[in-house]
RNA sequence: CGGGAUGUAGUGUAACGGCUAACAUUCCCGCUUUGGGAGCGGGCGACUCCGGGUUCGAAUCCCGGCAUCCCGACCA
């Protein structure tokens, strides 16, 4: 991509109505655009990041057998009445509208009801189980207070996976596999070392559910963590009983603020019983399916990466998340030789399959470097009169700042 | 939803109740410059959030909306 054609521009200053680091940097660098409180659009750079995160999530979900689907946002009130979650008294985050043909419609804030009804059309026998399905789709929640940039919004992307099992043991096996997959996802996102599988309230079916909490001052949750033991407990369930159950003492845990980047929990047969998702066992008896629900918000994950990894100069993306692999910067592009060389290198890298953002703008070096730091692409390659003279290219690692002179052959290797 | 704060060019700020609403930046033109957001000159860009009211006169004071941010509550 030629930066001269990229319609977004960087800004020196953040808009005054954004306080959170994630929104300030993402807006300044041109990744996102704010529409209203709690509503953001994703621009070319931002969409690339989201798609990269989605790719990581897809790979890990597919690896544990998840089958991707795409469920609608519009929701049928009748379905939600079967679980008593349609009324505004029961669920206060609904966005609703009216059909012109008559009747109500809802905008999905979760898809548990919908997927359960879908599966009731296909699950017949114990031979059909177990399996899992997921989708990446917008969720709408009428939050009374949006905040923290893209961390808590009213319309947001969510990956939600649902598991369907016959027995508690079968369910638990998948639950743990999914928990492991989640840790692999957060590791690939570059926030694994600060993310803890955290005990949280489990609802009616289990003692605990699990959240994936990333330690950060930008977080709105409080967890009690022991980093050495790799264990954390959400404040909301921390009491003597919980400590005893987990074999922990209060004084070995440290209170920390954290961001909930994912959560997984057992649903038991709550939805399958209400909606009629059953299977025939070996004796031909109809048994309700045991379900689990597993969520990650890609946009919140993106915000978390920015909160954790950025520095005073701007964003620092991990390689797998970055919108481009290389930021090619030409300095002194009015020099024919420099321009020609940079153009040629851009083509060679692109032909090789490397995603390059090529700063071909007619701008001074300082501005280009500052923008490059802000945008946060992992590797910078500089082409200038100086590099042409030495015959080597200058590469700069965004994270460490380490400068290395390499030959073109090495770069293309 | 309770409390607090704020709405002025694209962005960030200024302006005693009184001149054509100012400055910086962005953007456009010209010259100069060319490895860390350069310099000089010129130019475009604002119904001062909306609607009322007070006043000879309102960006400024008053009332009502709306919007945004922060704290709290809420948030499988």
CA nearest to nucleotide B38 C1': residue:
A364
Closest CA to A55 of A197, A189, A239: A189
Question: Which stretches of A276-392 are DSSP H helices?
Answer: 298-309, 336-351, 365-375, 385-390
Q: Which nucleotides of B are covered by protein (CB under 7 A)?
A: 1-2, 10-13, 25-27, 33-38, 67-76
The CA radius of gyration of chain A, in Å to the nearest whole number, is 25
pLDDT tens by residue, chain A, 413 residues: 999 999 999 999 999 999 999 999 999 999 999 999 999 999 999 999 999 999 999 999 999 999 999 999 999 999 999 999 999 999 999 999 999 999 999 999 999 999 999 999 999 999 999 999 999 999 999 999 999 999 999 999 999 999 999 999 999 999 999 999 999 999 999 999 999 999 998 765 677 899 999 999 999 999 999 999 999 999 999 988 889 988 899 999 999 999 999 999 999 999 999 999 999 999 999 999 999 999 999 999 999 999 999 999 999 999 999 999 999 999 998 899 999 999 999 999 999 999 999 999 999 999 999 999 999 999 999 999 999 999 999 999 999 999 999 999 999 99
Distance of CA A32 to the CA centre of its chain: 15
Nucleotide nearest to A143 (CA to C1'): B75
Given the structure tokens 């977004």, which residue do they identify?
A: A8
β-pairing, A131-140 with A66-68?
parallel
Rounded to whole angstroms, how far apart are CA atoms A393 and A387? 6
Backbone angles phi, psi at A350, to 5 degrees: -65, -40
Closest CA to A373 of A28, A18, A21: A28
Nucleotide nearest to A270 (CA to C1'): B76
Residue A35 CA to nucleotide B52 C1', Å? 29
Q: Which residues of A219-237 are buried (b: 16+ CB within 10 A; e: fewer)?
A: bebebbbeeeeebbbbeeb
Given the structure tokens 């380490």, which residue do they identify?
A: A402
Quickly list DSSP for A315-337.
Answer: ----TTT-S-SEEEEESSTTSHH
CA nearest to nucleotide B76 C1': residue:
A203
Closest CA to A263 of A285, A238, A291, A295: A295
Helices A44-63 and A168-188, packing angle to 10 deg: 140
Closest CA to A6 of A412, A352, A371: A371
Q: Which residues of A370-408 are buried (b: 16+ CB within 10 A; e: fewer)?
A: bbbbbbbbbbbbbbbeebbeeebbbbbebeeeeeeeeeb
Sign of CA dihedral A370, A372, A373, A375: positive
Distances (CA, A) of A143 to A92, A147, A183, A269, A317: 8, 9, 28, 28, 29
> What pLDDT is recorded for position A203?
63
Nucleotide nearest to A112 (CA to C1'): B76
Residue A146 CA to nucleotide B53 C1', Å? 34
Given the structure tokens 């993310």, which residue do they identify?
A: A195
Answer yes or no: pTM beyond 0.95: yes
Residue A17 CA to nucleotide B63 C1', Å? 26
Report whether A142 contacts A93 (CB < 8 A).
yes
Residue A15 CA to nucleotide B49 C1', Å? 17
Distance of CA A359 to the CA centre of its chain: 28
> What pLDDT is recorded for position A207?
79
ipTM score assigned to the predicted complex? 0.95
């Amino acid at each position: 991509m030629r930066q001269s054609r990229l319609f977004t521009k960087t800004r020196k200053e953040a808009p005054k109505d954004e306080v959170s680091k994630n929104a300030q940097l993402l807006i300044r660098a041109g990744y996102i655009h704010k529409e209203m409180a709690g509503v953001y659009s994703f621009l070319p750079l931002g969409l690339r990041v989201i798609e990269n995160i989605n790719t990581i999530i897809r790979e890990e979900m597919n690896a544990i057998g998840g089958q991707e689907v795409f469920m609608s946002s519009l929701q049928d009130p009748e379905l939600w009445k079967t679980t008593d979650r349609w009324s505004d008294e029961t669920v206060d985050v609904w966005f609703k509208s009216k059909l012109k043909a008559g009747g109500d419609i809802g905008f999905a804030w979760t898809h548990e009801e919908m997927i359960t009804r879908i599966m009731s059309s296909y699950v017949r026998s114990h031979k059909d189980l177990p399996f899992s399905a997921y989708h990446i789709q917008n969720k709408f929640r009428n939050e009374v207070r949006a905040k923290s940039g893209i961390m808590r919004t009213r319309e947001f992307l969510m990956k939600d996976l649902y598991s369907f099992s016959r027995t508690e043991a079968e369910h638990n096996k998948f639950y743990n596999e999914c928990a492991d997959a989640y840790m692999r996802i957060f590791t690939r996102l570059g926030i694994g070392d600060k993310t803890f599988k955290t005990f949280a309230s489990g609802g009616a079916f289990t003692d605990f559910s699990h959240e994936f909490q990333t330690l950060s001052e930008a977080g709105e949750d409080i967890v009690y963590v022991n980093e050495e033991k790799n264990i954390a407990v959400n404040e909301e369930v921390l009491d003597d009983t919980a400590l005893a159950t987990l074999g922990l003492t209060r004084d070995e845990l440290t209170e920390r603020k954290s961001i909930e980047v994912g959560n997984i929990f057992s649903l038991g047969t709550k939805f399958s019983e209400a909606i009629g998702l059953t299977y025939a066992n070996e004796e031909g008896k109809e048994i309700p399916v045991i379900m689990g629900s597993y969520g990650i918000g890609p946009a919140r994950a993106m915000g978390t990466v920015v909160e954790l990894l950025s520095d005073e100069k701007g964003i620092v993306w991990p390689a797998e998340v970055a919108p481009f692999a290389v930021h090619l910067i030409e300095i002194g592009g009015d020099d024919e030789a420099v321009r020609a060389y940079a153009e040629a290198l851009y083509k060679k890298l692109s032909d090789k399959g490397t995603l390059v953002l090529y700063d071909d703008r007619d701008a001074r070096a300082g501005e280009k470097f500052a923008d490059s730091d802000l945008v946060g692409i992992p590797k910078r390659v500089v082409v200038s009169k100086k590099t042409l003279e030495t015959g080597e290219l200058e590469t700069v690692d965004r994270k460490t700042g380490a400068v290395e002179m390499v030959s073109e052959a090495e770069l293309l290797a």
